[in-house]
Structure 1
Amino acid sequence: MHAFDVFSHYERTHWRLTDIDFDKVDRSLVEPEYVTLAKSAVMGECNSIAATHGFFNEFVDDYDFSAFAAIWGYQELQHHYAFKTWLRAIDEDVDERPVEAMREPYAPGSTPSATLATNIISELTVNHVYRAVADWVREPVLQDILRRASRDEAGHAREFIHYTKERLARRPQELPSVLETLYVYTSEARIKHPVSLFKDSLVEGGDHETIDTGFEVFLEKVADEDELQKLHAKVRSAFGSMTGLDLTTGARIRRALAGALS
C-alpha cells in the first residue's frame, strides 16, 4: 500500500506547529501585503476539510488513496493553523464565517482521475506561489511557514501524480478528462485554482480576503513578468511526464485530447 510508505516518510520528516517560534514574529517587518497573503492562505487552506470529505465520498472503493487523503488533509489543516497563528501573533485574525461557508464537500469531478488531476494543479500552483512569496517577504516567521508549506505542497503533488498514473493504468478511458482538466486550468492568462472556481462564489462580496486576493498580490508584487508562463509550463511538464504526451502548449493539449477521444 503506497499510503503506508507516504505515512512512514511523513513520520520521519513531519514538522509541528510547536517547531515554529511565534514569539519571534518581528512586527516591525510586517507589511500590509503580508497580512493579506496570510489571510488569503488561511482561506485557501481551510478547504482541506471539504476536499477530504469529497475524496472519501468519491474514492469509496480505494482504501489506499483514502488513507493518503487522510494524511494530506492533516497536513493541509496544519498549514491553515500555521497561517492563522501567525496572524494572531500580530493581533490579526480571520473571520470564521467565510471559513465555515467553505465546509460543504466538493462535488465529484467528471471522473475520479479528473479530480486527482485538479489536485495536482492545485498543489503545483500553491507550491510555486508559496516558494516565490517566501523569497520576497522579510518577516522571518512568515517566511519559515511559507517554505515549510511549499515543501509539503511539492510532496503532495508528487503523490497525486502517483495516484493519477496508477488510476489511468487501470482506467485509460479517463485520460480525456485529465487532459480536459489540464486545458481548463492552463488555457487562460491567469492563475486558476479549484478554490477559486468552486468555492469563492460562496463568500464573494464580503469584507474579507479569498484565495484570489493572495494570487492578485503575488502577481502584482512578487511575480516576474513571465511568472504565469513559468507556472503553466511547470504544470504542463508534470502532466506530460505523467502521461507520456507532449502537452507543452494549449494547441498540443487539444490535439492530445482529440486523439484520446478518437
Structure 2
Amino acid sequence: MHSYDVFTQYERNHWKLTDIDFSAVDKDKVKPEYVTIAKSAVMGESNVIAAVHGFLNEFVDDYDFSTFAVVWGNQEVQHHYMFKAWLDAIGEKVDDAAVVAMRAPYDPGITPSATLATNIISELTVNHIYRRVAGAVDEPVLHTLLLNASRDEAGHAREFIHYCKERLLRHPEETASVLETLYVYTSDKRIKHPVGIFKSELTELEDHETIDTAFELFLESIADADELLELQGKIRKVFGGIVNMDLSSNGKVRRALAEVIAA
C-alpha cells in the first residue's frame, strides 16, 4: 500500500515538535502581524479533525487512502499545536470555543475525486504562503515553524495528487468534478481555501482571526504584485498534469470542462 511507504518515510524523516526550543522565542522581534498570522494558522490547522472525519466517512471503501488520511492528520495536528505553542511562548491565547466550533466533519464532496482535488489546492496554497511568510518573518522560532510546515504541506500535496490520479484511473467519470473544483478555487482574484469557504460563517468565529485573515494580510503586506497569479498558475499546472490537459488559463479550464462533459 502506498500509505505504508508514506508512513515509513514520515517516521524516518519528519521533524518533531519536541525538538523545537520555544524558550528561544525572541519576543523583541515579535510584531503584531506575526501574532495575527499564528492565530489564523491555529484556526486553519484546527480544521484537521473535521477533515479526517470527512475523509473516513467518504472513503469508507478505500483502506489505503484512509490510512494516509490518519497519517496526514497527525502532521496537521502537529501544525496546529506548534503555532499554539509559539503563541503560548509570547503570552497570547486562542479562544478554545472558536477551535471547538471547527469540529463538525465536512459533508462528502461532489465526488471523492473532487474532495481530493480540493485538498490538493489547499496544500499547494498553504505551502506557498507559509514559505513566503517565513521569508518575511524575523522572529527565528516562528520562521523555522513556517518553513517546517511549508515543507510538510508540499509533501501532503504530493500524496493527495497521487491518490487523485489513482482515483481518476478507476473513475474517469469524475474528471469533470475535478475541473469544476479547480475553476471554483482559481477563477477570481482571491485566495480561496476550504476552511474559509465552508467554516468562515460560524458564529463562534465572529471577532476572531480565521485563515482568511492571514490570507488578506499576506496579500496586503507580503505578496508581490503578481503573486496570486503565480500561485493560481502553479495550481493549474499541477491539475494539468493530473488530467493530462492544458489548463494554463481559466478559459482553458472552461474549455476542458466542456470537452469532458460533452465526451
In structure 1, what residue type is equivalent to 2:206? G
Distance 1:196 1:171 in 2: 29
Partners of 2:13 and 2:242 in 1: CA distance: 26
Matches within 5 A, 1:60-71: 60-71=60-71
Matched residue, 2:239: 239
1:215 alignment counterpart: 215
Where structure 1 has 5 or more consecutive residues not aligned to the other structure, the ranges are: none
Which residue number corresponds to residue 198 of structure 2?
A: 198
C-alpha distance in 2 between matches for 1:34 and 1:149: 15
**Which consecutive residues of structure 2, in runs of 5 or more, have no partner in the other structure?**
none
What code does the residue aligned with 1:56 have? L
Question: How many Å apart are 1:204 and its aligned residue?
Answer: 6.5
Partner of 2:54: 54
Structure-1-length-normalised TM-score: 0.99
Identical-residue share of aligned pairs (%): 67
Q: List aligned pairs for 1:24-39, cutoff 5 A.
A: 24-39=24-39
CA deviations on 1:151-204 (whole Å, 9 max, x unpaired) are 000000000000000000000000000000000000010100000100111147
- 1-side partners of 2:83 and 2:22: how far apart? 11
Asked if the contact 2:22–2:89 (Cα under 8 Å) also holds between the matched residues in 1, the reply is yes
Map Cα deviations across residues 194-253 of structure 1 (whole Å, 9 max, x no partner). 001001111476221000000011111110000100000010010011111000000000
The aligned residue for residue 114 of structure 1 is 114
Aligned partners of 1:205, 1:214: CA distance in 2, in Å?
Answer: 14
Q: Secondary structure at the match of 1:86?
A: helix
- Letter of the 2:176 counterpart: P
Aligned residues: 262
Residue-by-residue CA offset, 1:48-104 (whole Å, 9 max, x unaligned): 000000000000000000000000000000000000000000000100011111100
Distance 1:245 1:27 in 2: 49
**Equivalent in the alignment of 2:172:** 172
The structure 1 segments of at least 4 consecutive aligned residues displaced by more than 4 Å after TM superposition are none
In structure 1, distance between residues paired with 2:192 and 2:205 = 19
Map of 1:87 onto structure 2:
87
Letter in 2 for 1:158: R
* Residue type of the alignment partner of 1:175: T
Structure 2 residue identity aligned to 1:74: N
Supply the AA of the counterpart residue of 2:141.
V
Determine the C-alpha separation between the residues in 2 that align with 1:20 and 1:220. Answer: 30
Residue 136 of structure 1: aligned partner: 136
Q: Is the 8 A contact 2:119 2:157 kept in 1?
A: yes
Q: 1:256 to 1:12 in 2, by over 3 A?
A: same
Letter in 1 for 2:116: L
